[in-house]
Amino acid sequence: MLKIDNITMKFGGVVAVNQFNASISKGEIVGLIGPNGAGKTTIFNMITGVYKPTLGSIIYEVNENEEDITGLRPDKIAKLGICRTFQNIRLFKELTVMDNVFIGNHLRLDSGVFSAVLRLPKYRSEEREQFEKSRYLLEKVGLYEERDEKAFSLPYGKQRRLEIARALATDPKLLLLDEPAAGMNPQETQDLMEFIVDIKKEFKLTIFLIEHHMEVVMGICERIYVLDHGILIKEGNPLEIQNDQKVIEAYLGVE
C-alpha cells in the first residue's frame, strides 16, 4: 500500500533522515520506534506532504493504482486517503466536540462555497449526511455524550480519541498515529490499544504508528521499524526487535 524508497531529509547541513526504506501492506499495523530525535516525526511529515524529501520517493497505492505522492500538498495527500494525528494534540479547542469531527468531513464535500453560502439543496443534503456520519463516529469512539462540550474541556485521553475521530472523518485508508499514547496512564494506554485494534477492523484501516510506550508497540504491531539518528537500524516482528542488540544499544546505550 505504501512504499518508501530511500527518502532523505536534510535541513541545511543536518541530515534528519538518511536513506530510509519501508513498505506497508494493506491491513497491517506497523510501528516506527526510536530514541527522541531519531527522525520519526520527520518521516511522517514527508509522507503527509509537510516536508518534501531532499531525496527519494514515496509511492502510495490507491484503487489498485500506484501514485507518486512525493512532495504533494498535504490536502492532496489527505484526499487520496492518508490522514494523521499529531504528537501534540491539535484540536480546534474552542469548538465543540461535534464541530471538530464535522470539520474533518469537509474534505469529502462536493458543494462549493457558493452552494454553502446560499445553502442550496445539494449542500443541505450533504450537510445532513455528514452530520449523521459525525454522530456515528462519536458513538464509535465513545464521545457522543460530550458532543456539545468544548474540545479543551475533555480529559486528555478523550482528546486523543477526538483527534482520531476527526481523522476518521476524512475517510482514510492509511492512518498515521504520532505517539497516540503520550501522556496516558496505564489504564488509558490499555484502552487505547483495544481502541486502535477495533477501529482498524471497523474501518478497514492500515495503520502506521510512532510510539514510545513499548507495551503498545509490542502489543498491537505486526512489524516494527527502528530508527536511530535518522538511520534505519532494524526491521522485524516484535520478538526480533526485542532481542536485537543494535536496538537495545540505541535505547540503553553501550556499557
Runs of H (alpha helix) within 119-234: 121-140, 156-168, 186-202, 214-220
DSSP 23-43: EE-TT-EEEEE-STTSSHHHH
Q: Tell me which H or E stretch contains 72.
A: none
Domains of the chain and CATH, by start: 1-81+174-255 (3.40.50.300), 89-171 (3.40.50.300)
pLDDT digits (tens, 9 = 90+) for 186-243: 888 888 899 899 999 999 999 999 998 888 999 999 999 999 999 999 999 999 998 8
Q: Tell me which H or E stretch contains 233.
A: strand 231-236
Distance from CA of residue 12 to its chain's centroid? 27
Q: Tell me which H or E stretch contains 113.
A: helix 113-118
Asked if residues 42 and 9 have their Cβ atoms less than 8 Å apart, the reply is yes
* Sequence letter at residue 124: R
C-beta atoms surrounding 2 within 10 Å: 22
DSSP 185: -
Residue 137: phi and psi, rounded to 5, are -65, -40
Tens of pLDDT along the chain (255 residues) come to 999 999 999 998 899 999 999 999 999 999 999 888 889 999 999 999 999 999 999 999 977 789 999 999 999 999 999 999 988 888 999 999 999 998 888 877 776 666 766 677 777 777 788 888 899 999 988 899 999 999 999 988 899 889 999 999 999 999 999 998 888 888 888 888 998 999 999 999 999 999 988 889 999 999 999 999 999 999 999 999 988 888 888 776 655
Q: Look-up: residue for cell 526487535?
A: 241
- pTM for the whole thing? 0.88
